[in-house]
Structure formats: structure tokens, C-alpha cells
Amino acid sequence: MVFAFLFSTPYFLFALKPEIISTLIIVFLLIFPLLGIIVLLLPYDPASKKIALSATPTLRYDERDIMFSRRRLKPGSERFETYYCNHPQKKKIDDAWRRKPGLLNPKARFYHPLYFSAAEASFDTVEYFHPHVRPNPSAEKKVIEPTVATAFIKDWLTRSGAHSVGVTLLRDYHFYSHRGRQEPYGAEIYREHEFAIVFTVEMNKTMVDFAPKSPTILESADQYLRAGMLAVKLTQFIGRLGYEARAHIDGNYQVVCPLVARDAGLGELGRMGLLMTPELGPRVRIGVVTTDLPLATDRYQPDRSVIDFCRKCKKCAESCPAKAIPYEDRQYDAVGLRWKINHEACFSYWCTVGTDCARCIKVCPYSHPDNIMHGLVRTLIKRNVVARYLALKMDDVLYGRSNRGKNS
């Protein structure tokens, strides 16, 4: 409202006292806004053309190395001793966060009896789905045109609460190399299916805006539950058609969800290491179902504008309480060209506050509500490098650089 008042003042002055404004100023007042609109609407984006795309990963993640797997290791057990014998450099780091209260612990900084109990209830319910992630298919296979099956599944999932749905061919790098959270622990993971159906579910903006306090982990848990329910329901449907299917849900994954979602055309990977969707940014949770049901695949469409915006923005890095998000540009490693997150620092902060933080999701300019105004901004920054600079500055003015807000 302040900007609207300031920029409209000269026009009101002209209407009230036309004699006080020269012809030159009148011409400027008429032409300058028009030129500004034209500049922003033009598809002008030389910066994005220079941005390199991530190479195909040559290394698969070992699930035993991720923080959620290391969290399950019980001190004194044979599995514990074997892991740290093979990875001695991780022992000191992990001992430090093990001394902290931990996720959803009553002694954690942001403990709330209602929110924490409700979040645990949702996570517990997800575990009820674990025995049902791979149903036995019917003996008779129903032959369905791939495009028809794909269209039906996308429509069904969307009506059931999914925000976006995509399909991709599975690649070896989509999978973890070895099991870390499910038995048999350490077993090698193989690609069994040809296709992956990937979908996102929206996290409520109001709840995310409490990050890193307790309402956020409740919202996170609820959306993991919703994604799990949709994934298991989809596998039951595919099984009834006579085809193999496996749901990949919280605590029981064999795939790296953001990589599969990116290749299914659902978004790009941003600075915080999460999937950046076109309408909701990182404010989503992901569900995956792998299957041998023939499907029509979508295509990964690289969005260099997202990479360019993340390079300029750095809000998530500045706002991260754990300083786990890098400030520097993407780096090459065996997993590709990416921003490498310090997962140990991130998880250590979680163990202090008792929640899964989500500050990075909260402050991301792409996380704003999917309404007409923000939709227009997203369209402009996708096409125009000048619009990206202006959008970032305006976001700083309207929402603040750190965007801590009243709930932080």
C-alpha cells in the first residue's frame, strides 16, 4: 500500500494541479511505467542460458549413511560398532547430537504436548502402512493403454489430494545402494520396476510459517501421512490390475524422492537441496510408487531460472539456524552438480529443538501462496532476469530478509 501511494502521488498531483507539472514530466509519467511493463514482460533471460545443468549422477546414496538411519543405531549393538568402525569420522559428530534431547522429545526446546503428540500419532500411523507397501498383484493382468492408465492415475491422485503428479522411467541413480532403515539392514537395493509415479502434497502455509516451532512438525507429519496413504492406495489399485507396485513412504524408502520427482518433471532442485515446485516451491512432501504397469512418461524440463534465482537469493542460507545450507555456488561431485547440504548440522539442530525446523521452506520466496499475485511474479521471474532481481528486492521489503515473523 505504501508503494502504491508513493508511485501514484505524481498522477494525483497532475489531476489536481496540472499547471505545476511540465510537459516533460507528463511524458515521463506516461512512458516510464509502460517501458517498465514491457521490460518485465519480455522473455529476456541471458543469465539462465549460461547455467550448467547437473550431470547424471555416477554414485548412489547409501541409505545407511543418512541421518535417519544413523539415528536408529543403538549404542553397544553389533550394528552400531560395525558402522562406526567403517566410518570413524562420523562417530564424534553423531555422539554430539545423541547427547541432545532428540526429535519430538519432551526435553526439546520447542516441546508442546499437543503438537508433539499429534505429530507422533501421524508418524506412528505411517508405520502401519509399512507392511502394505508391496501388495500381491492379481493373477490376471488387465491390458490398458499406457496413456489412458496415466491420465486416470493423475486425475485420481489429484482429486484425492495430490498437488502435482508426474511419471518417469526409473534409473539406477534414483535408488539407494543399500538399505538403512528397513530389514534386512545393509541389503543391496536393485531396480525392479520400470516406471515411477511421483506426486506432491501441499504443506499448509500457515503451519509452515511457525517454523521452527512445533506446529511445523505436525504439518510435516500430517503430509507424510497423506503421501503415505495415497501411495499405498495407488499400489493396491495397481495390484488389482495385475501389476507389481511398491509404495515408497516415510521410513520405508528405496528411492531418493527429490531426484525421481525432478526427472518426472515436477520441479528443480534448489539451494536447500529440496524439490522446488513451480507453484509451491519447496512447501511440499513427496510420494513415490514404482511399478511395472506400462505408463506414459513425462519429461524433465530443466528450469534454469530457479537455479539463477537461488544463486541470487540465499535467503535460506542466511536464515538457517544450523548454518547447514551453503552460500557458495553449486559444486560438482559424484552425485552431480549441486548445492551440498550439511546434513549433520541440520539434524543436530533438529535434535536440539525437537522439530524438523523448516525455516528454509518458510523463508523461500517460492513458498508464498499460489494466488494470482504470486503466480504472476513466478511467471515473470521464470522468463525475465530483471524480474528476478526486482522480485527478490520486493520480497526483502515486504517479508524481510530473514523473514522471522511473529511466530519464530
Q: Do residues 242 and 127 touch, judged by C-beta distance below 8 A? A: no
Model pLDDT, residue 405: 45
SS3 269: strand
Name 62's Cβ contacts closer than 8 Å, sequence gap at least 6.
Answer: 176, 177, 178, 180
Q: In this structure, what DSSP letter does residue 56 have?
A: P
What are the residue ranges of helices labelled H in 42-172? 46-49, 67-72, 78-86, 91-98, 113-129, 146-159
Rounded CA separation 129/113 (Å): 25
Model pLDDT, residue 224: 98
Name 304's Cβ contacts closer than 8 Å, sequence gap at least 6.
Answer: 45, 48, 49, 51, 53
Model pLDDT, residue 166: 98
DSSP for 212-237, written as a single string:
TSHHHHHHHHHHHHHHHHHHHHHHHH
Dihedral (CA of 79, 82, 85, 88) sign: negative
SS3 58: coil
Rounded CA separation 307/382 (Å): 10
Model pLDDT, residue 17: 64
Model pLDDT, residue 3: 66
Rounded CA separation 215/221 (Å): 10
Model pLDDT, residue 408: 44
DSSP for 290-355, written as a single string:
EE-S--PPP-----HHHHHHHHHH-HHHHH-TT--S-SSPPEEETTEEEPPP-HHHHHHHHHHHSS
Residue 184: cis peptide before it, omega within 30 degrees of 0 = yes
Model pLDDT, residue 24: 67
Of 267, 367, 350, give the one whose Cα is nearest residue 313: 367
Q: Is 370 exposed, middle or buried (0-12, 13-18, 19+ CB in 10 A)?
A: middle
pLDDT of the chain along its 408 residues, tens only? 666 676 777 777 667 666 656 666 767 767 777 777 777 777 878 877 788 887 788 889 999 999 999 999 999 999 999 999 999 999 999 999 999 999 999 999 999 999 999 999 999 999 999 999 999 999 999 999 999 999 999 999 999 999 999 999 999 999 999 999 999 999 999 999 999 999 999 999 999 999 999 999 999 999 999 999 999 999 999 999 999 999 999 999 999 999 999 999 999 999 999 999 999 999 999 999 999 999 999 999 899 999 999 999 999 999 999 999 999 999 988 778 899 999 999 999 999 999 999 999 999 999 999 999 899 999 999 988 999 999 999 999 888 876 554 444
Model pLDDT, residue 49: 79
Model pLDDT, residue 155: 98
Of 234, 266, 267, 226, give the one whose Cα is nearest residue 156: 234
Rounded CA separation 98/67 (Å): 11
Model pLDDT, residue 407: 46
